[in-house]
Chain A
Amino acid sequence: MSDKKLYSITALFNTPDEISKAAEVVTNEGFKKFDVNTPYPVHGLSSRMKLKPSTLGYFALALGLSGAAIALLFMYWTMSIDYPMIIGGKPFFALPAFIPVTFEVTVLLASVGTVLVMLFFFFRLPNNSHPLHDTEYMKKVSVDKFGVSIEAKDPIFDAEKVKQLFASLGAEKIEEIYYDEEEINHKHKIFEPRFIAFLFVIAIVVSGGTYFTLNKLLYMSPFNFMLDQHRINPQTKTNIFADGFAMRPPVDGTVARGTIPYLYKDDPEKAGMLLSNPLLATEENLALGQKKFNTFCSPCHGYFGAGDSRLNGQFPNPPSLHSEKLIQWQDGRIYHVIQVGQNIMPSYSKQLTENEKWAIVLYIRALQRALNAKEDDLK
């Protein structure tokens, strides 16, 4: 056996009272790099070893609050911004409904996070290469003995003095612990090549499995049953109809949704007599009328209805809307022309809603009034 490096000197005791005393004495002697090993937590050791209170609580608080914040922000973003939907008549940010998930995420992050912080950072576990592993000392401590281990690295360590101290405390067994070969250079496992290779394998297995599942498995029985449905898909063939087409034209007499039949197609006089403008001359309606007139009517009739568009001069001239005839026409008669068209003017019924057509009529009336103003209008 080559000259091994000493890690620590350990002592075993039989009762909790003995270990309590030992812990107190060792602490008071001024040792810093030492540990007490017990099969279960013994009350009072923390204060005798002058350990500071555990700060894990703060981590739990911070992680918990983060969990709550993350959950709320996530739900806010998904439900109020990214894809808001009215569900049950509730507001997009329905806080009472978000509380349960917030609570669960808080607890999850706080518990699991604090445990991981404790294991990885406070304890630096997993670590199966500690010098104390696999020693008689550890085996005894696991069962029913209580131990103290003073490390050789401690500034005031002196092998003989330590052994004397242990003897004076009544230790049952005093043992020297040496480093095993591989323990001397223990690096944190996270960068070890085997671990990296392990991660690599996991990555390949997971991605391969996911690819297979989502792109191949889901198209096999029974997972593909819903993909193969007993219905006719668009643009396919079928035997049901003689001509073999799956898609059929609409049945005779079908009307488009929202169609309102116009009863006076061939009867402009009746249209003028029976139809009346349902819209009031409000600012809103006139604004709408103006907008639509400018869009649809002004290319031919000009912006002021004077027939002075760039089509002026071409045959047939778009007429002025300020003629005597038009001033005498009823609202319904003008509506009829927009709806059905006249001579070379096409029907605008497919481009304008009923409301918009009546608004245009209103606007035309306003234009006419503008050129035919009376004294009273100025007031």
Chain B
Amino acid sequence: MSSDEIKIDYTKKEIPSGFSRLGFVLLIIGLILVILSFITDYNRTTQNSVIIFTFLTSISIGSLFLVALEYLAGAVWSVPFRRISEIISFIIFLIPIFALPSLLNFHGVFHWSHPEAVANDKLLQVKAPYLNETFFVIRNIVIFVIWWLFYIFLTGNSKKQDSTYDQSLTRKNIKISAVFMPFFGISLTIIAIDWLMSLEPHWFSTIFGVYYFAGTILSALACLTLMVLYLNEKGLLVKGLTKDHYYSLGALMFAFVNFWAYIAFSQFMLIWYANLPEETFWFITRWQGGWSYLSYGLIFIHFVIPYAILLPQPAKMDPFRLKLAAIIILLAHFYDLYWLSMPSFSKDVVLFSWYEIAFPILAIGLFITIFSIKSKKINLVPIGDPKIKRAMEFKL
């Protein structure tokens, strides 16, 4: 239980100004584009907000999940990166802003919110105790508040440890992480059901929560990998990070690319095989009009390409290929969420133009801005963590 200061080679620096400026520019452009798109096509913009909402939720709460996972598993290799995940998960506080457009336009987004539709549809009536505006808003608020609390406690202890080097903070965080996990599982499932599955209220799939979870953890890992590699190149992280540290990031991304493909295939194959119209229509919607090309594309961009990039063992340690894979995976996750939600709004026609990239540009700008603000305030490496020295000595 030593509280000795463990010397590691880290000096706190800020994000390079070029990067912050890029973030700011993207933020402004994104804001303008979003406002324009609101003015020109309100419904479509609110529908797009669902995609960015679920995308940012997955990255942020997924990052908090990675933090909790590190505590529970007692992982050592990821300790130098944990602070990056903590910073990414700060976005949890900003996500409700992206939820507002759809909440203010329930009717344009959620079919089940139309009372006339419910009155004529037995299936919607059965679901009404769950799919109604009031309960929807309440449970989402509760989930976010609890997530905020977990963020505050977990990252608060971690930050405090930077100065106190107190090992009991690690113990506390392990307990908090243990409580977080089951709540995470249930809350993530609820988000997936509410914001993605209910867009097609006649459809259901018990594996849907797991599907969203697969995308969540993949995107959180990809985001972490990208940031870690970039920051290390610019010398902002602790000195002494080697390929061995990167290996696990690559291996985990590879593993979860496989996991996503497995879940996606299971969901598809079971519904295809049984051929029950009450379930198949959802996939058929994604096979008609131009959507069939997108469905094929999803398999390629989300599975085949990242798999091929990350398969060789050296690839999992090579910064270039890791960055490439991470970017593709993030794009693929966005693509996936788009593929999940858009066909419900636009059957037969694939809608993709500047409307769809307005929110992403805003989100990227916001993300970079947050990062540069945070980098001014806190250490980018948890220097007080008791495992940090072991982490720096980590070898495969």
Contacts and interface: CB of A to CB of B under 8 A. Distances in A.
Direct contact of A and B (CB under 8 A): yes
Interface of A: 43, 57, 61, 88-90, 96-97, 99
- Of all A-B residue pairs in the complex, the 3 with the closest CB atoms, nearest first, are A96-B269, A96-B272, A89-B275
B268 interface: yes
B134 interface: no
Given A96-B268, A99-B265, A88 B312 contact: no
Nearest to A44: B395
Contacts of A99: 265, 269
Given A97-B269, A99-B265, A57 B275 contact: no
A89 B272 CA distance: 11
Given A61-B311, A88-B275, A89-B275, 14 more contacts: A43-B395, A57-B312, A57-B313, A88-B273, A90-B273, A96-B265, A96-B268, A96-B269, A96-B272, A96-B273, A97-B269, A97-B273, A99-B265, A99-B269
A89 B312 CA distance: 40
Interface bin, chain B: 10 to 19
B33 to A, nearest CB: 39
Contacts of B273: 88, 90, 96-97
A97 B270 CA distance: 9
Contacts of A43: 395
A97 B273 CA distance: 8
Contacts of A57: 312-313
A89 B395 CA distance: 54
Interface in B262-285: 265, 268-269, 272-273, 275
B43 to A, nearest CB: 35
12 contacts: A43-B395, A57-B312, A57-B313, A61-B311, A88-B273, A89-B275, A90-B273, A96-B265, A96-B269, A96-B273, A97-B273, A99-B269
A88 B274 CA distance: 9
A281 B273 CA distance: 44
Which of A57, A96, A97 has the largest number of chain B CB atoms within 10 A? A96
Interface string B364-396: 000000000000000000000000000000010
Contacts of A97: 269, 273
Contacts of B272: 96
A128 B245 CA distance: 41
A141 to B, nearest CB: 25
A88 B275 CA distance: 9
Contacts of B269: 96-97, 99
A121 B269 CA distance: 40
Nearest to B311: A61
Contacts of B265: 96, 99
Contacts of B311: 61
A88 B273 CA distance: 8
B282 to A, nearest CB: 15
Nearest to B396: A43
A97 B275 CA distance: 13
A97 B272 CA distance: 9
Contacts of A61: 311
Contacts of A89: 275
Interface string B159-175: 00000000000000000
Contacts of B268: 96
A96 B312 CA distance: 27
Which of B268, B269, B275, B312 has the largest number of chain A CB atoms within 10 A? B269
Contacts of B395: 43
A79 to B, nearest CB: 15
Contacts of B312: 57
Nearest to A43: B395
A43 B268 CA distance: 45
A108 B273 CA distance: 25
A96 B265 CA distance: 8
Nearest to B275: A89
Nearest to B313: A57
A297 to B, nearest CB: 49
Nearest to B269: A96
Contacts of A88: 273, 275
